[in-house]
Structure 1
Amino acid sequence: MVDELGAEGLTMRALAERLGVKAASLYNHVASKEALVDAVSELVNVEIDHAPLDDPDWRAGLTAYARGYRAVFLRHPNAIALLARRRVEGDRALRGYDALLALLGRAGLPAADAAETAAALDYLVLGSALETFTAGFTREPVAYRSAYPALADALAESFVRGGGGTGLDGRGFELGLRLLLDGVELRAGTSAGS
């Protein structure tokens, strides 16, 4: 329902209608709307593969994890609004963050830097799944040329690289991820030398 209708579409009444039951009967299975959202969170978190976080090559592991994490939210972008500002209490999500922070520690980051890097990774993954850069540009690149020549050139040249807007969005995520990884490496090297 969240995938179809968005976060606001998930109500106890709408769920009951979808299931062909009375809303009151749902409370025999789910204590509250809050508990229902917790269940949605768990369903989404089950799809996130944490195995790459065990990779001895921290860079390869973090890359694979970030790509997989993003893929889950590309499949469920409406879940972001429902889950992004919620407390993290589910065991699977907590284990995932623990594994991520352990990987960043193995990479050489102090704990505070690891926490900030995990936050930056969340921003990159969730932001790129929630809002595509190219969705805001509804015209062909050439249509921007007279008033916005730099925008027209940038879009046109990026589209030539393949995949149109989807390709540009994917490459933008990959660039952000590489920059984040390079920053981790630099920060870990600086921390090790301190």
Structure 2
Amino acid sequence: MALIDEAGADAITMRGLAEAVGVTPMALYNHFSSKRALLSAVAENVISAADFDGQHANWRDQVHHCFSVLRSLCLQHPGLPRLLEFEGAAPASVFAPMEVTLRALREAGLGDIDSARTYFLLVSFTLTQAAYQARRVPDLEPSAQIRAERIAGRGYEAIEHLAWPETWDFDASFEFGITLILNGVESIAAGDEGRHAPS
């Protein structure tokens, strides 16, 4: 997993991995029939160790727990999302966060399709934020560009006048984002209840 985090799943070869762990390539083939089988086992090992189900009584706490765990996992292993995109590498356990989330959102009063949409929204938000935090791009940091006067005089007044912090608080940003999404869930669920309430 350390090699995948550093170079990506695409860069892993059976020969290169064998050299890294000090064995012959055939020694790996004694355990795994292919690179795909090996990557699937790595993904299963990482994901199955994560406790996505916090068993919280409150649906909001349950969803928050699930995506906090997913975020921590992606920060610890930045190569994991790309690994799961490798054909045949995603194990069945990759659906554990979805199961936890759909159950919680059903409890919140959301319909099936809206629950699925919310799940994918939460996944997109969490993975994108974790990916950026793990591999920050200085040229995309507004505060750095303002300090370097690279965007001065280009008409980006709202950006320039914002009181940007010296360092971005990714934890606070994650909490803000997930709270925003869950507040939206509550609002939609309350609206659905109102529409179905007896007159």
Same fold by TM (over 0.5)?
yes
Q: Give runs of aligned pairs for residues 7-156 of structure 1, distance below 5 A.
A: 7-52=9-54, 54-84=55-85, 90-132=91-133, 135=137, 136-137=140-141, 139=144, 141-144=146-149, 146-147=152-153, 148-154=156-162
Change in 2 beyond 3 A, CA 1:81/1:58: same
Per-residue Cα deviation, 1:110-168 (whole angstroms, up to 9, x for no partner): 111111111111101111111249632283632246234432333xx2416xxx03x1x
Alpha-carbon offset, residue 100 of structure 1 = 1.8
CA distance in structure 2 between the partners assigned to 1:80 and 1:178 by the alignment: 23
Amino acid at match of 1:27: Y
Report if the CA contact (8 A) 1:142-1:152 is conserved: no
Structure 1 residue 179 and structure 2 residue 185: aligned?
no
Report if the CA contact (8 A) 1:49-1:69 is conserved: no
Structure 2 gaps of 5+ residues are none
Per-residue Cα deviation, 1:65-107 (whole angstroms, up to 9, x for no partner): 2112101101111222221475796343334322221111111
Which of 103-112 and 135-144 deviates more?
Answer: 135-144
Amino acid at match of 1:137: E
Which of 172-181 and 2-11 deviates more?
Answer: 2-11
How many equivalent residue pairs? 186
Change in 2 beyond 3 A, CA 1:22/1:88: closer
TM-score normalised by the chain length of structure 2: 0.81
Change in 2 beyond 3 A, CA 1:78/1:26: same
CA distance in structure 2 between the partners assigned to 1:13 and 1:105 by the alignment: 47
CA distance in structure 1 between the partners assigned to 2:146 and 2:51 by the alignment: 37
CA distance in structure 2 between the partners assigned to 1:65 and 1:98 by the alignment: 10
Change in 2 beyond 3 A, CA 1:191/1:86: farther
Aligned residues: CA RMSD: 2.5
Report if the CA contact (8 A) 1:12-1:26 is conserved: yes
Structure 1 gaps of 5+ residues are none
Q: Is the partner of 2:148 in helix, strand or coil?
A: helix
CA distance in structure 1 between the partners assigned to 2:68 and 2:85 by the alignment: 18
CA distance in structure 1 between the partners assigned to 2:26 and 2:136 by the alignment: 43
Change in 2 beyond 3 A, CA 1:109/1:88: farther
Change in 2 beyond 3 A, CA 1:86/1:69: farther
Q: Identity over the aligned pairs, expressed in percent?
A: 31
Q: Is the partner of 1:56 in helix, strand or coil?
A: coil
Q: Please say which structure displays the higher CA radius of gyration.
A: 2
